Chain A
Amino acid sequence: MGKQTRIFLILLLLSFAIFLFDHFGFLGPVKSFSQGLFLPAQKAIYQSWQRVRGSVGRDREVSELNKKVQEQEREIANCKLLIANCMVQVGEQRKLLGAPLPSEWEFLQAQTAGLLGDSLTLDKGKKDGVYVGQAVISENVLAGKVFWVGERIAKARLITSKESKILAKVVSAAREGIGIKARGVLVGDGQNMKLHEVLQSENLSEGDLVATAEDPANLLLGKIKKVEKKEAELYQEAEVEPFLDPKTLEIVFLIK
């Protein structure tokens, strides 16, 4: 039997001897002392572990709460957007109610869905009863006329379009002598409009208002920015600035 084997067997026997001693209570004081010795270290390690685990758990809770907060923030943002859209619609309808328009007119509210060149896309179409030639207004200002109707969308040509031709009348904006001053044909030039075929004898002045003379009548179009009078010609011309900026249009109304 080798030395190492002897040591191994001695230690094994010693283990059983210790077990027996302990079993009969001879090693109680030793156990008590050792437990008192190691207890602070055990407590320290356990508390550190709890802190680590707690902080990890808290981090997880915090990240879950953050996720929920972000979801709710998104919901709130959506609600705010919805409210803002509603407010815009309400505002536009209030403006329309306040505008001096014939009471027999009926309106169809439409939202703008695009602006390409001088063509304004609307979110209403055949299904909603939109037809070609229908006037598109905002308050009591004519924005354009429908020239194409799809099932769910329609396209309106703006009054500033080069293809737009409207019979118009000029109304004096001065305090004294409010009334119709002249009649002419309003043609768009892309950005602004030009009033043609106004007799030279008519006295146009800057700031005069231009309104529709054809059906639907009495809708504002713009105001005279510059009068171009040429003595040699039969008619005079005037540059008209539109009241509406089509880029800012969100809600419009179609006259039924």
Chain B
Amino acid sequence: MISKIIFLILAIFLAILQTTVFPVNLLLVSIVILAFVWQDEIPPFAFFSGLLFDLIRGAPLGISSALFLITAGCTIFVKKAFFFRHRDHLIITSRK
């Protein structure tokens, strides 16, 4: 829970930072990284982070939410696909 609160504070800070001085989508990068760690728990955070980002930068609401959600979904998909392939490999090698 604490890690989620920290992430929200960090998300606010990163959103402010990238709308003021740092022209790199740090929030998207952090979503990708956290999608690897939190997996299925990440979609709500991706959604709210995107909403927050749009609110702070004054862009049409919902665009970043959708983008972050899709990115998080893709990341989770890639991770799971890699994990399953790796698991099959482990099973095969253990049978030998």
Q: Is the CB of B55 within 8 A of A45?
A: no
Q: Tell me which of B12, B55, B62 has the highest count of chain A C-beta atoms within 10 A of its own C-beta.
A: B62
CB-defined contacts of B58 to chain A, threshold 8 Å: 31, 35
Tell yes or no: A107 within 8 A of B by CB.
no
Identify which of B12, B17, B47, B66 contacts A19 (C-beta below 8 A). B66
Interface of B is mostly: helix
Q: Which residues of A contact B62 (CB under 8 A)?
A: 15-20, 22
**Given A38-B16, A42-B20, A19–B44 Cβ distance below 8 Å?**
no
Q: Say yes or no: is B28 at the interface (Cβ < 8 Å to chain A).
A: no
**SS class of chain A's interface: helix, strand, loop or mixed?**
helix
Answer yes or no: A11 CB below 8 A from chain B CBs: yes
Per-residue CB contact flags for chain A residues 10-33 toward chain B (1 = under 8 Å, else 0) read: 011011111111110001001100
Given the known inter-chain contacts A8-B43, A31-B55, A42-B16, please indicate yes or no for A15 contacting B50, CB distance below 8 A.
yes
Q: Are B16 and A22 in contact (CB under 8 A)?
A: no
Is B60 on the interface with A (CB-CB < 8 A)? yes
Residue numbers in B under 8 Å from A14 (CB-CB): 47, 65
Could you tell me if A11 and B69 are in contact, using CB atoms closer than 8 angstroms?
A: yes
CA distance A31 to B56 in the complex (A): 8
Chain B residues near A20 (CB, 8 Å)? Answer: 62
Q: Name which residue of chain A comes closest to B65, CB basis.
A: A15
Complex interface bits, A164-188 against B, C-beta within 8 A gives 1, otherwise 0: 0000000000000000000000000
- B residues bordering A, Cβ < 8 Å? 12, 16-17, 19-21, 40, 43-44, 46-47, 50-51, 55-56, 58, 60-63, 65-66, 69-70, 73
